[in-house]
Amino acid sequence: MSKIKYAFIIMIPLLITACQTTKSQNNASVAQQWQVHQQNLKQINAFQVKGSIAYISDKSRSYGRFLITQQSTDNYQVKLTSPIGTNILTLKAEPNNAQLIDKHGESYQDINVENLMKKISNVNIPLNSLHNWLKGFSDNINTDKLDNSGRLISTIFVQNNNKWTLKIPSYATYTYKNQKIDLPATIELTHDDEVVRLKISDWILR
């Protein structure tokens, strides 16, 4: 056997070991980045976010604009307008109370914000975990999938007996407390035949 061929055979196990080590290090790096990102997202509890929304189901399709102002995890306001700017509804949520004002100025209340939204607008959205999925936060190690930068790209969660699939196709970078942080630019929520798509144009962090 020639020296070159012998050296090649010796190198193969070393190359395989090196590749496995690099892959392991990359996986560890992604997990570490995700942990840091999770901790940063937990600090963001007050913000304003706006963009466009599409709600699609087998029965209907709706399009509009949204403005979400969150004072804390369970205290926020959602304003929905048509693509041309006319008011559709305003939803205010706080602990154990929700109020919805429709386009005619009629006011409705319920202790469950999701039930209220579904009952009045016929739109199903997992609002009770809005503060998490809107930021791209999750801590479900069984379903969370990450990109190479340690950011959430998809997960599955159950809320009010509804199974939702969350996908975040793209992110944008903002500044929070003098540090760069990536927040969702597009979001897709899917439950059975219902799809909610958000295209976010701006985040204001407080």
Q: Could you write out the DSSP letters of every residue in 118-133?
A: HHHH-----GGGHHHH
Most distant CA pair in the chain: distance in Å? 89
pLDDT recorded at residue 21: 40
pLDDT recorded at residue 19: 45
pLDDT recorded at residue 20: 44
pLDDT in tens, the chain (206 residues): 555 544 444 555 544 444 444 444 455 699 999 999 999 999 999 999 999 999 998 888 999 999 999 999 889 999 999 999 999 999 999 998 999 999 999 999 999 999 999 899 888 899 999 999 999 999 999 999 999 999 999 999 998 888 999 999 999 999 999 999 999 999 999 999 999 999 999 999 99
pLDDT recorded at residue 18: 43
pLDDT recorded at residue 175: 95
pLDDT tens figures, 128-163: 999 999 999 999 999 999 999 999 999 999 988 889
Query: What is the C-alpha separation between 194 and 125, in angstroms, rounded?
Result: 9
The owner of tokens 């500044």 is 175
CA distances from residue 158 to 79, 139, 164 in whole angstroms, order as listed? 25, 13, 6
- Around Cβ 58, how many Cβ atoms within 10 Å? 8
Q: Give this prediction's pTM.
A: 0.83
Query: What is the C-alpha separation between 63 and 189, in angstroms, rounded?
Result: 15
